[in-house]
Structure 1
Amino acid sequence: MVTIYLVRHGQTEWNVTGKMQGWGNGELTESGIRDALSLGNRLQDIPIDVIYSSTSKRAYQTAELIAGERTVPIIKDDRLREMSFGDWEGRLREEIEKEFSAEYKAFWETPHLYERNSGELFTDVLKRAEEMYKDIIASHPSETVLIVSHSIFLRILTAYLRKLSLDKLFTQTYIGNASLTKIQVTDGIPEFIFEGDRSHCEE
Protein backbone atom coordinates (compact mmCIF):
# COMPACT_ATOMS: atom_id res chain seq x y z
CA MET A 1 0.00 0.00 0.00
CA VAL A 2 1.17 3.50 -0.88
CA THR A 3 -0.11 6.42 1.18
CA ILE A 4 -0.25 9.75 -0.62
CA TYR A 5 -0.89 13.15 0.95
CA LEU A 6 -1.82 15.94 -1.44
CA VAL A 7 -1.26 19.54 -0.34
CA ARG A 8 -2.07 22.78 -2.09
CA HIS A 9 0.46 25.56 -1.42
CA GLY A 10 -0.28 28.15 1.25
CA GLN A 11 -2.18 31.34 0.52
CA THR A 12 -0.32 33.88 -1.63
CA GLU A 13 -0.65 37.60 -2.20
CA TRP A 14 -2.05 36.87 -5.66
CA ASN A 15 -4.70 34.58 -4.15
CA VAL A 16 -5.81 37.46 -1.96
CA THR A 17 -5.93 40.02 -4.77
CA GLY A 18 -7.59 37.65 -7.25
CA LYS A 19 -4.77 37.29 -9.76
CA MET A 20 -4.28 34.20 -11.91
CA GLN A 21 -0.94 32.58 -11.04
CA GLY A 22 -0.15 29.53 -13.14
CA TRP A 23 3.58 29.53 -13.80
CA GLY A 24 3.80 33.03 -12.31
CA ASN A 25 4.21 33.36 -8.57
CA GLY A 26 2.75 35.41 -5.75
CA GLU A 27 4.62 35.37 -2.44
CA LEU A 28 3.15 33.48 0.52
CA THR A 29 1.17 35.68 2.89
CA GLU A 30 1.68 35.56 6.67
CA SER A 31 -1.48 33.46 6.82
CA GLY A 32 -0.11 31.11 4.15
CA ILE A 33 3.10 30.64 6.13
CA ARG A 34 1.20 30.01 9.39
CA ASP A 35 -1.09 27.46 7.75
CA ALA A 36 1.86 25.58 6.24
CA LEU A 37 3.58 25.49 9.64
CA SER A 38 0.32 24.28 11.24
CA LEU A 39 0.06 21.52 8.66
CA GLY A 40 3.63 20.50 9.40
CA ASN A 41 2.69 20.31 13.08
CA ARG A 42 -0.38 18.23 12.25
CA LEU A 43 1.79 15.75 10.35
CA GLN A 44 4.71 15.69 12.81
CA ASP A 45 3.96 12.18 14.10
CA ILE A 46 3.28 10.71 10.66
CA PRO A 47 6.35 9.12 9.04
CA ILE A 48 6.80 10.66 5.58
CA ASP A 49 9.39 9.00 3.35
CA VAL A 50 9.63 11.66 0.65
CA ILE A 51 8.12 15.00 -0.34
CA TYR A 52 7.57 15.94 -3.97
CA SER A 53 7.05 19.61 -4.78
CA SER A 54 6.23 21.79 -7.74
CA THR A 55 9.22 23.90 -8.74
CA SER A 56 7.16 27.08 -8.21
CA LYS A 57 8.43 29.07 -5.24
CA ARG A 58 5.07 29.17 -3.40
CA ALA A 59 4.82 25.37 -3.46
CA TYR A 60 8.45 24.63 -2.61
CA GLN A 61 8.38 27.09 0.28
CA THR A 62 5.21 25.42 1.56
CA ALA A 63 6.95 22.03 1.33
CA GLU A 64 9.92 23.35 3.32
CA LEU A 65 7.66 24.78 6.02
CA ILE A 66 5.79 21.47 6.33
CA ALA A 67 9.04 19.49 6.50
CA GLY A 68 10.44 21.70 9.24
CA GLU A 69 13.27 19.92 11.04
CA ARG A 70 12.62 16.57 9.39
CA THR A 71 15.41 15.05 7.30
CA VAL A 72 12.92 13.92 4.65
CA PRO A 73 14.09 14.69 1.08
CA ILE A 74 12.17 17.28 -0.95
CA ILE A 75 12.24 16.54 -4.67
CA LYS A 76 11.31 19.35 -7.09
CA ASP A 77 9.55 18.37 -10.29
CA ASP A 78 8.28 20.65 -13.07
CA ARG A 79 5.45 18.22 -13.79
CA LEU A 80 3.82 19.31 -10.51
CA ARG A 81 3.59 22.95 -11.59
CA GLU A 82 0.22 24.61 -11.96
CA MET A 83 -1.46 24.77 -15.35
CA SER A 84 0.12 27.52 -17.44
CA PHE A 85 -2.42 30.28 -18.07
CA GLY A 86 -0.25 32.06 -20.63
CA ASP A 87 -0.94 35.77 -20.94
CA TRP A 88 -3.57 35.58 -18.18
CA GLU A 89 -0.89 35.13 -15.54
CA GLY A 90 -0.49 38.05 -13.15
CA ARG A 91 -3.79 39.56 -14.26
CA LEU A 92 -6.95 40.03 -12.19
CA ARG A 93 -9.67 37.46 -12.79
CA GLU A 94 -12.29 40.18 -13.28
CA GLU A 95 -10.18 41.77 -16.03
CA ILE A 96 -9.73 38.43 -17.76
CA GLU A 97 -13.43 37.65 -17.55
CA LYS A 98 -14.26 41.00 -19.13
CA GLU A 99 -11.68 40.79 -21.93
CA PHE A 100 -11.89 37.04 -22.68
CA SER A 101 -15.46 36.29 -21.63
CA ALA A 102 -16.02 33.19 -23.80
CA GLU A 103 -12.66 31.59 -23.00
CA TYR A 104 -12.95 32.38 -19.30
CA LYS A 105 -16.45 30.88 -19.16
CA ALA A 106 -15.23 27.75 -20.95
CA PHE A 107 -12.29 27.46 -18.55
CA TRP A 108 -14.56 27.12 -15.51
CA GLU A 109 -17.74 25.64 -16.98
CA THR A 110 -16.64 23.41 -19.87
CA PRO A 111 -12.94 22.69 -19.28
CA HIS A 112 -13.03 19.79 -21.77
CA LEU A 113 -13.87 22.32 -24.51
CA TYR A 114 -11.49 25.08 -23.37
CA GLU A 115 -9.07 26.20 -26.11
CA ARG A 116 -6.52 29.02 -26.25
CA ASN A 117 -3.25 29.67 -28.08
CA SER A 118 -1.59 30.93 -24.90
CA GLY A 119 -0.72 28.64 -22.01
CA GLU A 120 -1.73 24.99 -21.56
CA LEU A 121 -4.91 23.05 -22.14
CA PHE A 122 -6.42 20.86 -19.42
CA THR A 123 -5.42 17.79 -21.42
CA ASP A 124 -1.78 18.93 -21.30
CA VAL A 125 -1.88 19.00 -17.50
CA LEU A 126 -3.69 15.66 -17.38
CA LYS A 127 -0.82 14.04 -19.30
CA ARG A 128 1.84 15.21 -16.85
CA ALA A 129 -0.36 14.45 -13.81
CA GLU A 130 -0.85 10.87 -14.99
CA GLU A 131 2.86 10.46 -15.75
CA MET A 132 3.90 11.91 -12.39
CA TYR A 133 1.47 9.72 -10.45
CA LYS A 134 2.60 6.52 -12.16
CA ASP A 135 6.25 7.39 -11.55
CA ILE A 136 5.63 8.03 -7.85
CA ILE A 137 3.66 4.81 -7.35
CA ALA A 138 6.39 2.81 -9.11
CA SER A 139 9.23 4.49 -7.19
CA HIS A 140 7.73 4.30 -3.69
CA PRO A 141 5.96 0.99 -3.09
CA SER A 142 4.76 0.66 0.52
CA GLU A 143 5.90 4.21 1.36
CA THR A 144 4.25 7.46 2.41
CA VAL A 145 4.58 10.33 -0.06
CA LEU A 146 3.59 13.96 0.38
CA ILE A 147 2.96 16.02 -2.77
CA VAL A 148 2.79 19.83 -2.73
CA SER A 149 1.21 21.33 -5.82
CA HIS A 150 -1.55 23.67 -7.03
CA SER A 151 -5.33 23.95 -7.27
CA ILE A 152 -5.98 23.05 -10.91
CA PHE A 153 -3.22 20.43 -11.05
CA LEU A 154 -4.57 18.69 -7.93
CA ARG A 155 -8.14 18.75 -9.26
CA ILE A 156 -6.94 17.16 -12.49
CA LEU A 157 -4.95 14.53 -10.61
CA THR A 158 -7.88 13.59 -8.35
CA ALA A 159 -10.22 13.50 -11.37
CA TYR A 160 -7.79 11.09 -13.05
CA LEU A 161 -7.73 8.88 -9.96
CA ARG A 162 -11.53 8.87 -9.85
CA LYS A 163 -11.75 8.22 -13.61
CA LEU A 164 -13.77 11.41 -13.99
CA SER A 165 -13.91 13.09 -17.38
CA LEU A 166 -12.64 16.67 -17.59
CA ASP A 167 -16.16 18.08 -17.90
CA LYS A 168 -16.71 16.97 -14.28
CA LEU A 169 -13.44 18.57 -13.09
CA PHE A 170 -14.97 21.33 -10.96
CA THR A 171 -17.69 19.17 -9.41
CA GLN A 172 -15.14 17.78 -6.93
CA THR A 173 -14.43 18.96 -3.40
CA TYR A 174 -12.86 22.41 -3.34
CA ILE A 175 -9.10 22.36 -2.75
CA GLY A 176 -8.29 25.32 -0.49
CA ASN A 177 -4.87 26.75 0.31
CA ALA A 178 -2.76 24.52 2.58
CA SER A 179 -5.50 21.87 2.50
CA LEU A 180 -4.71 18.19 3.01
CA THR A 181 -6.03 15.19 1.07
CA LYS A 182 -5.18 11.61 2.01
CA ILE A 183 -5.24 8.75 -0.49
CA GLN A 184 -4.34 5.11 0.06
CA VAL A 185 -3.42 3.07 -3.00
CA THR A 186 -3.79 -0.69 -2.55
CA ASP A 187 -3.03 -3.02 -5.47
CA GLY A 188 -3.26 -0.03 -7.78
CA ILE A 189 -6.70 1.04 -6.51
CA PRO A 190 -6.83 4.54 -4.95
CA GLU A 191 -9.14 5.19 -2.00
CA PHE A 192 -9.81 8.72 -0.78
CA ILE A 193 -9.66 8.81 3.04
CA PHE A 194 -10.40 12.54 3.28
CA GLU A 195 -10.13 15.48 0.93
CA GLY A 196 -9.47 19.22 1.06
CA ASP A 197 -9.25 19.23 4.86
CA ARG A 198 -8.20 22.55 6.42
CA SER A 199 -8.96 21.83 10.08
CA HIS A 200 -5.37 22.77 10.95
CA CYS A 201 -5.70 26.23 9.37
CA GLU A 202 -6.64 29.53 10.96
CA GLU A 203 -9.92 30.80 9.57
Structure 2
Amino acid sequence: MEVYLVRHTETVCEKGICYGQSDVPIAAPYLEIFESIKKQLPQDAIVYSSPLVRCSQLASYLSNTIIKDDRLMEMNFGNWEMKNWDAISPDEFTPWMNDFVNVSVPNGESFVELYNRVNDFLENDFQHNTSKAVVIVAHAGVIRSILCKISGLPLKDAFNNKVGFGAVIKIVL
Protein backbone atom coordinates (compact mmCIF):
# COMPACT_ATOMS: atom_id res chain seq x y z
CA MET A 1 0.00 0.00 0.00
CA GLU A 2 1.29 3.44 -0.91
CA VAL A 3 1.44 5.97 1.92
CA TYR A 4 2.34 9.60 1.38
CA LEU A 5 3.68 11.49 4.38
CA VAL A 6 3.15 15.23 3.90
CA ARG A 7 4.53 17.91 6.19
CA HIS A 8 2.63 21.17 6.56
CA THR A 9 4.02 24.29 4.91
CA GLU A 10 5.83 27.10 6.73
CA THR A 11 4.10 28.79 9.65
CA VAL A 12 3.89 32.46 10.61
CA CYS A 13 6.24 31.84 13.55
CA GLU A 14 9.66 33.45 13.48
CA LYS A 15 12.58 31.06 13.16
CA GLY A 16 13.72 29.88 16.58
CA ILE A 17 10.25 29.69 18.13
CA CYS A 18 9.19 26.38 19.68
CA TYR A 19 5.56 25.89 18.61
CA GLY A 20 4.90 22.11 18.90
CA GLN A 21 1.19 21.75 19.64
CA SER A 22 0.42 25.47 19.56
CA ASP A 23 -2.17 26.03 16.85
CA VAL A 24 -0.29 28.51 14.68
CA PRO A 25 -1.39 29.43 11.15
CA ILE A 26 0.61 28.87 7.99
CA ALA A 27 2.38 31.67 6.18
CA ALA A 28 0.88 33.15 3.04
CA PRO A 29 1.00 32.81 0.14
CA TYR A 30 0.47 29.08 0.16
CA LEU A 31 -2.02 28.12 -2.58
CA GLU A 32 0.71 27.61 -5.17
CA ILE A 33 2.60 25.33 -2.75
CA PHE A 34 -0.62 23.46 -1.91
CA GLU A 35 -1.24 22.89 -5.63
CA SER A 36 2.33 21.62 -6.10
CA ILE A 37 1.84 19.16 -3.23
CA LYS A 38 -1.53 18.03 -4.59
CA LYS A 39 0.04 17.20 -7.97
CA GLN A 40 2.37 14.73 -6.22
CA LEU A 41 -0.50 12.76 -4.66
CA PRO A 42 -3.13 10.31 -5.93
CA GLN A 43 -6.53 11.99 -6.33
CA ASP A 44 -8.63 9.34 -4.58
CA ALA A 45 -6.44 8.77 -1.51
CA ILE A 46 -7.70 8.44 2.04
CA VAL A 47 -6.47 11.56 3.85
CA TYR A 48 -5.58 11.66 7.55
CA SER A 49 -4.51 14.86 9.27
CA SER A 50 -3.35 16.35 12.50
CA PRO A 51 -6.18 18.57 13.77
CA LEU A 52 -3.84 21.56 14.06
CA VAL A 53 -4.74 24.23 11.49
CA ARG A 54 -1.33 24.17 9.79
CA CYS A 55 -2.07 20.58 8.75
CA SER A 56 -5.86 20.49 8.49
CA GLN A 57 -5.91 23.51 6.15
CA LEU A 58 -3.60 21.71 3.72
CA ALA A 59 -5.50 18.42 4.13
CA SER A 60 -8.79 20.18 3.35
CA TYR A 61 -7.25 21.52 0.15
CA LEU A 62 -6.20 18.00 -0.83
CA SER A 63 -9.53 16.29 -0.14
CA ASN A 64 -13.14 17.02 0.72
CA THR A 65 -13.06 14.18 3.25
CA ILE A 66 -10.32 14.15 5.86
CA ILE A 67 -9.95 12.10 9.03
CA LYS A 68 -8.46 14.20 11.84
CA ASP A 69 -6.62 12.39 14.60
CA ASP A 70 -5.06 13.95 17.70
CA ARG A 71 -2.33 11.30 17.70
CA LEU A 72 -0.92 12.98 14.60
CA MET A 73 -0.22 16.23 16.45
CA GLU A 74 3.35 17.46 16.82
CA MET A 75 5.29 16.83 20.02
CA ASN A 76 3.87 18.56 23.08
CA PHE A 77 6.53 21.03 24.18
CA GLY A 78 4.66 21.94 27.38
CA ASN A 79 6.23 24.93 29.13
CA TRP A 80 8.36 25.66 26.06
CA GLU A 81 5.46 26.27 23.67
CA MET A 82 5.79 29.63 21.87
CA LYS A 83 9.12 30.41 23.53
CA ASN A 84 12.31 31.13 21.68
CA TRP A 85 14.61 28.10 21.94
CA ASP A 86 17.36 30.43 23.22
CA ALA A 87 15.13 31.60 26.09
CA ILE A 88 14.70 28.10 27.56
CA SER A 89 16.65 27.62 30.77
CA PRO A 90 19.77 25.45 30.32
CA ASP A 91 18.69 23.55 33.47
CA GLU A 92 15.62 22.34 31.55
CA PHE A 93 17.04 22.31 28.03
CA THR A 94 20.32 20.42 28.55
CA PRO A 95 18.86 17.17 29.99
CA TRP A 96 16.33 17.08 27.15
CA MET A 97 18.97 17.75 24.49
CA ASN A 98 21.14 14.98 25.96
CA ASP A 99 18.26 12.46 25.75
CA PHE A 100 15.24 13.91 23.90
CA VAL A 101 14.03 10.37 23.27
CA ASN A 102 13.33 9.63 26.95
CA VAL A 103 13.34 12.98 28.76
CA SER A 104 10.00 14.77 28.78
CA VAL A 105 9.76 18.51 28.30
CA PRO A 106 8.34 20.10 31.51
CA ASN A 107 4.55 19.64 31.27
CA GLY A 108 5.06 18.15 27.80
CA GLU A 109 6.25 14.88 26.37
CA SER A 110 9.35 13.02 25.25
CA PHE A 111 9.99 11.78 21.72
CA VAL A 112 9.24 8.19 22.75
CA GLU A 113 5.82 9.35 24.00
CA LEU A 114 5.16 10.98 20.62
CA TYR A 115 6.40 7.81 18.90
CA ASN A 116 4.08 5.63 21.02
CA ARG A 117 0.95 7.65 20.19
CA VAL A 118 1.81 7.72 16.47
CA ASN A 119 2.47 3.98 16.61
CA ASP A 120 -0.92 3.49 18.32
CA PHE A 121 -2.55 5.30 15.38
CA LEU A 122 -0.68 3.16 12.84
CA GLU A 123 -1.45 -0.13 14.57
CA ASN A 124 -5.04 0.46 15.68
CA ASP A 125 -6.88 2.98 13.50
CA PHE A 126 -4.93 3.32 10.31
CA GLN A 127 -6.67 1.64 7.34
CA HIS A 128 -4.17 -1.06 6.38
CA ASN A 129 -6.47 -3.10 4.18
CA THR A 130 -7.37 -0.65 1.48
CA SER A 131 -6.74 -0.57 -2.22
CA LYS A 132 -6.53 3.22 -2.05
CA ALA A 133 -3.39 5.16 -1.31
CA VAL A 134 -3.20 6.95 2.02
CA VAL A 135 -2.02 10.51 2.70
CA ILE A 136 -0.99 11.56 6.20
CA VAL A 137 -0.67 15.33 6.65
CA ALA A 138 1.35 15.92 9.79
CA HIS A 139 4.40 17.45 11.42
CA ALA A 140 8.13 16.77 11.21
CA GLY A 141 8.21 14.88 14.54
CA VAL A 142 5.34 12.62 13.53
CA ILE A 143 6.82 11.92 10.11
CA ARG A 144 10.26 11.25 11.59
CA SER A 145 8.74 8.77 14.04
CA ILE A 146 6.95 6.92 11.22
CA LEU A 147 10.18 6.79 9.20
CA CYS A 148 12.05 5.41 12.24
CA LYS A 149 9.41 2.72 12.66
CA ILE A 150 9.44 1.52 9.06
CA SER A 151 13.22 1.68 8.65
CA GLY A 152 14.21 0.37 12.09
CA LEU A 153 16.23 3.55 12.70
CA PRO A 154 16.80 4.14 16.43
CA LEU A 155 14.72 7.04 17.76
CA LYS A 156 17.89 8.85 18.86
CA ASP A 157 18.73 9.15 15.15
CA ALA A 158 15.31 10.48 14.11
CA PHE A 159 16.76 13.80 12.97
CA ASN A 160 18.72 11.94 10.27
CA ASN A 161 15.33 11.91 8.51
CA LYS A 162 15.18 15.30 6.77
CA VAL A 163 11.61 16.57 6.53
CA GLY A 164 11.29 20.06 5.07
CA PHE A 165 8.19 22.23 5.02
CA GLY A 166 5.78 20.94 2.36
CA ALA A 167 7.77 17.71 1.92
CA VAL A 168 6.04 14.72 0.35
CA ILE A 169 7.59 11.37 1.23
CA LYS A 170 6.24 8.22 -0.40
CA ILE A 171 6.59 4.94 1.49
CA VAL A 172 5.17 1.48 0.88
CA LEU A 173 3.69 -0.52 3.75
> Structures share a fold, TM > 0.5?
yes
1:121 matched to 2:119? The reply is no
**Equivalent position of 1:22 in the other structure:** 20
> Where does structure 1 lack aligned partners over 5 or more consecutive residues?
186-203
Cα offset for 1:113? 4.1
**2:50–2:71 contact (8 Å) kept in structure 1:** yes
1:146 matched to 2:135? The reply is yes
**Equivalent position of 1:57 in the other structure:** 53
Identity %, equivalent residues: 28
1:136 matched to 2:134? The reply is no
**1:54–1:60 contact (8 Å) kept in structure 2:** yes
**Equivalent position of 1:184 in the other structure:** 172
**1:20–1:88 contact (8 Å) kept in structure 2:** yes
C-alpha spacing 1:115/1:77, structure 2 compared with 1 (3 Å):
closer
**Equivalent position of 1:155 in the other structure:** 144
Cα offset for 1:123? 1.5
**Equivalent position of 2:3 in the other structure:** 4
Cα offset for 1:131? 1.4
Q: Matches of 1:171 and 1:150 in 2, distance apart?
A: 15
C-alpha spacing 1:133/1:36, structure 2 compared with 1 (3 Å):
same
Q: Matches of 1:38 and 1:82 in 2, distance apart?
A: 23
**2:79–2:105 contact (8 Å) kept in structure 1:** no
What amino acid sits opposite 2:18 in the alignment? Answer: M
Cα offset for 1:80? 0.4
* Higher normalized contact order (CA 8 Å, seq sep 6+, divided by chain length): 2
- Length-normalised TM-score, structure 1: 0.76
Q: Report which of the two has the higher share of helix.
A: 1
Match of 2:68 among 64, 69, 76: 76
**1:111–1:166 contact (8 Å) kept in structure 2:** no
What amino acid sits opposite 1:184 in the alignment? Answer: V
**1:53–1:148 contact (8 Å) kept in structure 2:** yes
> 1:148-177 CA distances to partner (integer Å, 9 max, x unpaired)?
0001111112111112222111122x1011
Other structure's SS at 2:126 match: helix
Cα offset for 1:106? 4.8
Cα offset for 1:65? 2.3
C-alpha spacing 1:152/1:106, structure 2 compared with 1 (3 Å):
farther
What amino acid sits opposite 1:95 in the alignment? Answer: A
> Where does structure 2 lack aligned partners over 5 or more consecutive residues?
none
C-alpha spacing 1:104/1:33, structure 2 compared with 1 (3 Å):
farther
What amino acid sits opposite 2:24 in the alignment? Answer: G
**Equivalent position of 2:79 in the other structure:** 87
**Equivalent position of 1:191 in the other structure:** none
